[in-house]
Amino acid sequence: MSARGGKRALYMLLYFKSGAGIDNIISDQKDGGQYLRNRQGNQTLSQKMAEELCPNSVFLRMPVTSIDQSQGGHCTVYTDGGVSFQCRRVIVSVPTSLYHQILFKPALPKGKATLSDNTATGYYTKVIYVFKEPWWQTAGLSGVLDSDKGPIIFTRDTSIPVDDQWSITCFLVGDKGRNWSKLPRAVRLQQAWEQFSRSFGEFVDVPAPTNTLEMDWTKEALFLGAPCPITTPGVLTKVGSELATPVGRVHFVGTEASREWRGYMEGAVRSGQRGGAEVVKALLAESMPRF
């Protein structure tokens, strides 16, 4: 392998290692990357946590435009809605690739800026087919499709039996997904359904879905892709160690900054716990009397 090829592979290898190997990160078995799903969706976790906080603790639809720690002793956070907040510490949890959308005062050090300028998320769309009944399970099928032809690259059974909810989620990713996304919506969905019904139709009669859901993460302004920001060749070697490094009173978290389960929700949670612990430790140190 050439040096350049090695640099390209480095992030991929680190990604695999953080999830205990490629077989584990794609596994539906216990402790595998695809093992657990939240019954009512991941947003439920945020909503339930917010309910435990004091009123007016969570502010929505206020994208941060600037973080100013130039005055010393505190930070001022400015938002798109014109509202500002003063605090002693800030935790930034947006993807590294979006740091450039925030004006930092003083500016981020060179290492952090290099990470932001040379990190990107991939193309990632989900199309979910909801059915009246689990026809694939009745036929003894797993609901898993793997293809290199596209536009669907792979599928997973995302049913919730206790709720009588039966669905298969299709993932349209990479260049094939990106090219597919440029088509009109009706054509996109027709192509996806033709591939889906043709593939499973080799083994069983495939009924029409009762509902079809589409989610294109690249069109979400605060994500611009999924599932995880990756660095361009050479960047990880040079400044990768600065992914989780605080800058003054600003701390950085995110799934890409986790040592375990990078790119997964588990990694995001672990990173958040690490960032929270950093802030608590810093605040306690500030409150200690100095002699």
The string of pLDDT tens digits covering residues 157-200 is 999 999 999 999 999 998 999 999 999 999 999 999 999 999 99
Give the predicted TM-score (pTM) of the model. Answer: 0.87
pLDDT of residue 65: 96
**Within a 10 A sphere around the Cβ of 148, how many other Cβ atoms?**
7
Per-domain boundaries in the chain: 65-119+231-287, 122-226
Strand pairing partners for 46?
none
Note the pLDDT tens digit of each residue in 105-156.
999 999 999 999 998 888 989 999 999 999 999 999 999 999 988 899 999 9
- Euclidean distance between CA atoms 229 and 249, whole angstroms: 23
Task: Please say if the pLDDT value at position 1 is more than 70.
Answer: no
CATH placement of domain 65-119+231-287: 3.50.50.60
Strands (DSSP E) found in 42-165: 64-68, 75-79, 84-87, 90-92, 103-105, 119-120, 124-131, 154-157
Taking residues 238-249, report their average pLDDT. Answer: 92
Confidence at 211, pLDDT banded by 50, 70, 90: very high
- What is the topology classification, in CATH, of domain 122-226? Polyamine Oxidase; Chain A, domain 2 (3.90.660)
Average pLDDT over residues 255-273: 92
Phi and psi (nearest 5°) for 213?
A: -115, 140
Residue 171, beta-bridge partner list:
126, 154
pLDDT band at 226 (very low <50, low <70, confident <90, very high): confident
d(CA 193, CA 45): 32
User: Letter for the amino acid at 205?
Assistant: D
